[in-house]
Structure 1
Amino acid sequence: MQISTTKKLFPLVTADIALFTLIDWELHVLLVKRDNDPAPDRWALPGGILRPDLDSSLDETAMRVLKSKVGVDVRYLEQVTTVSGPHRDPRGWSISTAYYALLPGELVPAAAGTSVKAIGWCSPVDLEDQLAFDHGFLLSEALARLRQKVRQGALPLHLLSDKFTLTDLQRACEAVLGTRLDKGAFRRLIKDEPSLRLLPGKFLRGPQRPAQLFEAAPDFRF
């Protein structure tokens, strides 16, 4: 009997994350400049390989990757899509689950960590042909999912500080959608919204009239 010496190939399983935040009330996504093969010196979404010895799920892989590569803990993480095939990664047959995550702007300062030369925040629009692997496609899918949820009425409170004004909330929604919203229509839409909790006696004071502050309700779900 002849014993085959052909090495069995198992799929490479990874998690890749589109981490969104607001900088000067514009939506930005975090990119990393790769340090190692494959695609060294190319910009990509932060991602990493599933480690069965460390991760009990791909969600844990995604959280671990963000912590190790860019030094952040995120408030919200959601699966977007899964892609697979023999040619998307030169190391072999691979499966990647794409996520998006949301981070408040004040937590943006992050440092490049393991396997990363540099990090950068940029507009998530029109990057499909500029990123390593198929990460441009994954980013476009993540952005589409985020926008869909906000169009359907979900409030992106995870992009805001713990205390915020209704103007802050409208600007966050506008940044995600890439369009201006009518103030009156927006206020009517969120009137009596159970996700928002008014903070009695708490105001943001400035050159204009004081603006009432709100926070997310304890049971808020995006």
Structure 2
Amino acid sequence: MATPAEKHLYPIVNTDVALFTLIDMQLRVLLIRRANRPDPGGWALPGGIIKPEIDHSLEDAARRMLVAKTAVNVPHLEQVMTYSGPHRDPRGWSVSVLFFALLPSDQVSAVAGSKTEATDWANPEKPGRRLSFDHDQMRVAALTALRTKVEHGALPLHLLPARFTLTDVQRACEAIMGRAIDKSSFRRQMKTARDLVPVAGAFVRGAQRPAQVYRAAAGFAF
């Protein structure tokens, strides 16, 4: 059996998640108000300490904590980077692995966890409040990772409902990148996109001609 001195050699290991969604086609990240020490009442990204007896991987730990603290199981979770050091957590030397996750916009109302005092969907660029620990750095890193993927052509279909239009896809990309995209060039790019499958006979009526409805291809991964 390990002695207290030997146990002290092991750092605290956390996973933290920047959970993104779209609300009224505006990109938002989930913040929670902490119910437990350290920093009770402070705002942070959802996360917690891994449990080796039940978590088979860091991703398992991140998903478990998202379900516990927000009551959602996300379709996409991706590792961003690792943070470590003796001063980032008052409980002692710690390691935290940061993930970002994508939540479909029609599932926002399902976010209601049991281990937080409150939740807030904040602007990921300007959350409007101080975040606990080094979570402000994490927020920036997660947003940068998400933007980089979209800038390199990844389609954020996990942020959309099961059925969507090309306009929905473009607006989602614009919300992530924080800038407008030329419609003509975007539509040309979508003509060769293999991740989009037209839904036969499904159209959305608008002021102009009806818009084709699409779904994500089987096995789509962001």
- Scaled to the shorter chain, the TM-score interval is over 0.9
Cα distance change on mapping 1:5 and 1:11 into 2, 3 Å: closer
Offset from partner CA, 1:161-219 (integer Å, 9 cap, x none) = 11100000000000000000110011011212111111121111244432100111113
Distance 2:130 2:61 in 1: 25
CA contact (8 A) 1:127 1:136 kept: no
- What's 2:38 paired with? 38
Distance 1:35 1:176 in 2: 30
CA contact (8 A) 1:128 1:137 kept: no
Offset from partner CA, 1:130-149 (integer Å, 9 cap, x none) = 20000010111000000000
- What's 1:101 paired with? 101
- What's 1:73 paired with? 73
2:63 match: secondary structure: helix
Distance 1:8 1:77 in 2: 31
Q: CA deviation at 1:128?
A: 9.5
The residue correspondences of 1:1-222 to structure 2 (distance < 5 A) are: 6=5, 8-9=7-8, 10-127=10-127, 130-222=130-222
Per the normalisation by structure 1, the TM-score is 0.94
Distance 1:61 1:8 in 2: 21
Distance 2:4 2:19 in 1: 43
CA contact (8 A) 1:128 1:139 kept: no
Distance 1:29 1:6 in 2: 40
Offset from partner CA, 1:2-25 (integer Å, 9 cap, x none) = xx9746412111100000000010
What's the Cα RMSD here?
1.6
2:144 match: secondary structure: helix
CA contact (8 A) 2:68 2:115 kept: no
Distance 1:5 1:204 in 2: 65
CA contact (8 A) 1:102 1:159 kept: yes
Cα distance change on mapping 1:195 and 1:6 into 2, 3 Å: closer
Structure 1 unaligned regions, length at least 5:
none
Per the normalisation by structure 2, the TM-score is 0.94
Cα distance change on mapping 1:5 and 1:176 into 2, 3 Å: closer
Distance 1:208 1:82 in 2: 48
2:124 match: secondary structure: coil
Between stretches 141-150 and 193-202, larger displacement belongs to: 193-202
Off by >4 Å, runs of 4+ in structure 1: 4-7
Structure 2 unaligned regions, length at least 5:
none
Between stretches 191-200 and 207-216, larger displacement belongs to: 207-216
Counterpart amino acid of 2:106? E
Q: How many residue pairs end up in the alignment?
A: 219
Identity in percent: 52
Counterpart amino acid of 1:198? P
